[in-house]
Amino acid sequence: MTVAIPMTSWIEISEERLAANFRAIAQAAGRETVVLAVVKANAYGHGIELCSPALARAGAPWLGVTGASEGARARHALAEAGIAPKDQPRILVMCGFLPQNVEAIAEHALTPVVWTPQQVGWLQGSGTAVHVEIDTGMARQGVHPGAELEDLLAEIDAAELPLDGLLTHFCAAEAAHSELTQTQQRRFESAIAQVRRQGLAPKWVHAGSSSSVDNPAQSSPWLVDLANSVGARAMVRCGIALYGYCSPITGADAASVPSKLRPALRPVMTWKTRVLSLRDLAAGETVGYNATFTAPAPMRLAMLPVGYADGLRRELSGSDARPGGWVIIPSRDGSGPQAETQPAKAEPQAASKAPIVGRVSMNLTMVDITAIPGVRVGDEVVVLGDGITADDHARLAQTIPYEILCAVRVG
């Protein structure tokens, strides 16, 4: 699957890897736990129109989206892919909604997460099944157990809305033996017990993320047992692992907690561009804004038509003071003065790292190809993928792979 404008840059999405990652998550989660595939934020930058049908074909029974408009996009993509309505996953609207979204929720058979009486009022009389989020410690979305939850459940009953599910979200699922997670689990247990006392029977109880599945110190029969206590199915909501990444397990004893999931994952996105032009530098010449890189010897550079406007972080710049990021570029046997303008006689033989030199600018980046023979204008270059991952970009930019993936803009 490809979204492409070859003059600049494009992404290629591997449906095979996406499906394999989903299967790996399902296996690690266990047979009694359903996996909701999160495609919010445009499938973490991978394209919701591409990934929703692919995950449905892989067997995902639920998709998770940011809002109603994204849910409509996912539903449309499923229909366009020829997936019959009865075979389509259910779609959970995870991040709230406004009154103007109610019509789309009904039209596209979306399931909203609710946590305020106001949200319930907007859905009054629609018969829409809802999932109630319990705030156990994130202080973002969710209703507090106790009187607040009791009032909300009464509002849901009065509005004649089916209570289809209960959920919470952990703030430190990647932390081994986290006391924060244990506290949140106890609070969620109290909310489930309260729902049970009120005679309600949700069909789904869900908590946790990719890290919850990956971290054996957090993944346990706890969720299954909790769901069983109200006759519900257990579910986890996994996003980043679908796309080939997972936060490392943290904490003082992290080294003694082996990852259940990360070794099985492979990146789904490959971000590519093409060599736009070639340039020879003499020793002592500088590259880019503020002349932060100086050629220590004669060099050959390739210019790429990508930069920070496309999502290539400026922190990947290479300078005299520190090395930066790199791209993967093909090499050929032999080169010469006509290599820039004449068709190459040899196909690419191998892929090599080409370091970024100088500042990453808005739309252009220079890379060092001195040691890579036969590079030509028009050659494909891997900006992100095998050999240079979102983890690599995140480490250099001092951020997380989520942000790297979501920031990629092609065109």
Which amino acid is present at 97? F
Task: Report which of 111, 221, 123 is spatially closest to residue 166, judged by C-alpha positions.
Answer: 111
Cβ neighbours of residue 139 closer than 8 Å, sequence gap 6 or more:
none
* Residue of 245, 289, 308, 353 with catalytic role: 289
Q: CB–CB of 22/242 below 8 Å?
A: yes
Q: Which two tokens stand for residue 49?
A: 């129109």
* Residue of 40, 44, 260, 272 with catalytic role: 40
> Looking at residue 254, what DSSP letter applies?
G
Tokens 């692992």, located at residue: 241
Element (H, E) at 161: none
Sort strands 380-384 and 269-274 into parallel, antiparallel or unpaired. antiparallel
Give the count of beta carbons closer than 10 Å to the beta carbon of residue 126.
15
Verify whether residue 40 is a known catalytic residue. Answer: yes
Helix, strand, coil percent content, the chain, rounded in steps of 5: 35, 25, 40
Verify whether residue 308 is a known catalytic residue. Answer: no
The alpha carbon torsion through 310, 314, 315, 317 (nearest 10 deg) reads 110
Element (H, E) at 284: none
Give the count of beta carbons closer than 10 Å to the beta carbon of residue 197.
9
Indicate if the alpha-carbon torsion angle 334, 338, 340, 345 is positive or negative: negative
In whole angstroms, give the CA distance from residue 125 to residue 128: 8
Cβ neighbours of residue 230 closer than 8 Å, sequence gap 6 or more:
192, 195, 196, 200, 201, 202, 205
**End-to-end alpha carbon distance in the chain:** 16
Which amino acid is present at 109? A
In whole angstroms, give the CA distance from residue 208 to residue 223: 9
Helix (H, G, I), strand (E, B) or coil at 358: strand
Q: Which active-site residues does the annotation give?
A: 40, 289
